[in-house]
Chain A
Amino acid sequence: MSFAVPANLEAQLDELATHYPQKRSASLMFLHALQEHFGYISRDAVEWTARKLGLQPINVYELVTFYPMFRQEPLGKTHIKVCRTLSCALAGSGELRTHFCSKLGLDAHKHAPQTTPDGKFTVEFVECLADCGNAPVVLLNEDLLPKVTPAQADEIVAKGKSK
């Protein structure tokens, strides 16, 4: 499949680039938009961004490898980010992540993000999500869920499977 950015997205990004006196500044926002559209940042997306912003591909690629939110492979439709850091850990986020992993047949001992073979779920341990008063928290795609219980985790899994 060839890489093609839809005209309306390209127009949106062209407008975005005008927000900055120097176009290079827009690169993070470009990558967010492309990842949202394509699901991940491909080599083509890196080269396209570099061309649009007058950069070398390495200037864009080094961002993809530096910022943890950017992905170089497709993710599951249901993306479960469990907070790993102290307040959530005290409230049992380690057990919560293990629960997700065992429900989905993933290896709880692996630290890196893992995607189920059917491409439906990605489970990931992430650092502080800044909602420590509601620990343990989960960022489910774009929704932040407070005080997540194992029962809620099961619901998330059931819902994601039917998608």
Chain B
Amino acid sequence: MPQEHRLILKHADQPGYTPDLECYLRHGGYDALKKVLALAPKDLPDGKKMSPQEQVREDVKASGLRGRGGAGFSAGIKWSLVDRKSGKPIYLICNADESEPGTFKDRQIIHKDPHQLIEGMILSCWANDVKLAYLYIRGEMPQGAKLLNKALDEARAKNFLGKNILGSGYDLEIYVHRGAGAYICGEETGLIESLEGKRAYPRIKPPYFPAVLGLYMCPTIVNNVETLCHVKHIVNMGAAEYAKLGTPNNTGTRIVSLSGDVKRPGYFEIEVGKVTIGELINDPAFGGGLCDGRKLKAIIPGGSSSKILKAGETFKLNRKGADGQMAKVDVPLLDLPYDFDSLMAAGTMSGSGAIIVLDDTRDIVEALANLAEFYAHESCGQCTPCREGSLWMSKALHRLTHGHGRKADADYLLHIAQNIQGRTICAFGEACAWPVLSYVKKFKDDFEAKGAADEAKAAAAKH
């Protein structure tokens, strides 16, 4: 029986659990902070010493933690890329600009357990010698921003934050910074520009890797809300114990946001890779299946930017056979383990952990038109292929869904999408091209039939 495994959301939905400091302290809050502050330098075999901060950084690397924001990059490696020799201050930013359509996991943490996030941030700042950090929350979460400000005040009053934290000599300040409704602020260099008080135009990499030239051209770490919370649990459990959760190279737990055509939409925390997509959709412990009498049409597996998976598809995955050898095995869509690597092998991504389910009553062209409008609205406008292309795709899809389509629109859409991806400063180009490429390729008949029907209607009207 597949089950939830709640680590981050262990307390969040328990009756009587409140977002205030007293409640958090009753549940072992800030124990991880006290634990790291008491760490002693470790003697290494070569006679050198490893600082407590370095020990925590090594633990995060050894835990296998991968970023929960979208890219799934190793958090430990991200930290190790930080330029520590520049002499400039190092900044840390919590990316709480949750705005990938389909995703609503960070909201749960911010609203129900803000101190867990703050403790995760303090630990991460301490481990990276950060003295000033920002919590960038999206503008449409005004109550979340208030809750976080209140929680930060409470933490300051108890000296978990501020000068000389708990007598350790370590100073740290964290401030809440609100966005103002732009999806592109979720892109880390766009977020940094926005935090500098500018339009959120992403920066070109190289040279502007945040780890080297980030906020105010200083080394900067940008981590997602959920990722930072995991740091607390890695400190509490130890890297080896933490890494036992999940599956190899896909360790720990993650919160999956499930929406669309299922009986029980909601968020579910699972061990990464221990639950399949089919179980997430159909098991009574999770989505509870589709509405009665409906069949599955497609799954958007990792936020709206991920490539769509069509019902009935099978994928070649590397699996260990009975003889212990790795072999390519055919895995049907619903048996795909929900983890980073399996979805990558299936040609898509687990992204922000957001699944949107479409049943057989849905028009795939309408669904794509909806998302194309989102991307056309959210393109920052900096790169021509994305600014123009996202709008052209949206216009073509608008006419296809409003009775003025053409049969050639399907190929036209593919042509535009192919000319956006890889030709932009940031990954938004891919984010708007991938849905179009995958929906049109996998459901080409639907697009062409719609366009052809409109053309036939227009021709009949002429005569």
Chain A residues at the B interface, C-beta cutoff of 8 Å: 19-22, 24-29, 31-32, 53, 55, 59, 62-63, 66-70, 81, 84-87, 89-90, 126-135, 139, 142-144
Q: In residues 159-182 of chain B, which contact A (Cβ within 8 Å)?
A: 173, 175, 177-182
A sample of 11 cross-chain residue pairs with beta-carbon separation below 8 angstroms, ordered by A number, consists of: A28-B178, A66-B200, A84-B370, A85-B101, A86-B101, A86-B304, A86-B356, A128-B99, A128-B100, A128-B183, A132-B259
Q: Do B259 and A133 touch (CB < 8 A)? A: yes
Select which of A25, A69, A127 is within 8 A of B183 by beta carbon: A127
Given the interface contacts A126-B140, A132-B257, does A87 sit within 8 Å of B101 by beta carbon? yes
Q: Do A28 and B194 touch (CB < 8 A)? A: yes
What's the tally of chain B residues with a CB closer than 8 Å to chain A?
55
State the CA gap A54–B19 with chains docked (Å). 38
**Cβ of B83 < 8 Å from any Cβ of A?**
no
Q: Do A85 and B197 touch (CB < 8 A)? A: no
Q: In residues 373-396 of chain B, which contact A (Cβ within 8 Å)?
A: 373-374, 377-378, 380
Q: Which residues of B contact A21 (CB under 8 A)?
A: 132, 216
Task: Quote the shortest CB–CB distance from B326 to chain A (angstroms).
Answer: 37
Other than the given A67-B179, A86-B300, A127-B183, 19 more pairs (CB < 8 A) read A22-B196, A22-B197, A28-B177, A32-B139, A32-B178, A32-B180, A53-B197, A66-B200, A69-B180, A86-B102, A86-B367, A127-B374, A127-B377, A130-B98, A132-B103, A132-B259, A133-B257, A133-B266, A135-B265
Q: Do B304 and A130 touch (CB < 8 A)? A: no
Q: Which residues of A contact B356 (CB under 8 A)?
A: 86-87, 90, 132
Q: Which residues of B contact A53 (CB under 8 A)?
A: 197
Task: Quote the shortest CB–CB distance from B12 to chain A (angstroms).
Answer: 14
Task: Quote the shortest CB–CB distance from B296 to chain A (angstroms).
Answer: 14
State the CA gap A63–B139 with chains docked (Å). 14
Task: Quote the shortest CB–CB distance from A66 to chain B (angstroms).
Answer: 4
**Cβ of B362 < 8 Å from any Cβ of A?**
yes
Q: Do B99 and A130 touch (CB < 8 A)? A: yes
Given the interface contacts A86-B102, A89-B370, does A22 sit within 8 Å of B141 by beta carbon? no
Instruction: Report B102-123 CB contacts with A as 1/0, cut-off 8 Å.
Output: 1110110000000000000000
Closest to A24 in B: B197
Q: Do A133 and B304 touch (CB < 8 A)? A: no
State the CA gap A53–B258 with chains docked (Å). 43
6 smallest beta-carbon distances between A and B, as pairs: A67-B180, A132-B259, A69-B181, A24-B197, A68-B181, A87-B259
State the CA gap A90–B370 with chains docked (Å). 10
Select which of A26, A63, A68, A87 is within 8 A of B260 by beta carbon: A87
Q: Do B197 and A27 touch (CB < 8 A)? A: yes
Q: Do B197 and A25 touch (CB < 8 A)? A: yes
Task: Quote the shortest CB–CB distance from A72 to chain B (angstroms).
Answer: 13
Q: Do A68 and B182 touch (CB < 8 A)? A: yes
Q: Do A133 and B267 touch (CB < 8 A)? A: yes
Task: Quote the shortest CB–CB distance from A101 to chain B (angstroms).
Answer: 18
Most B CB within 10 A of own CB, among A66, A128, A135: A128
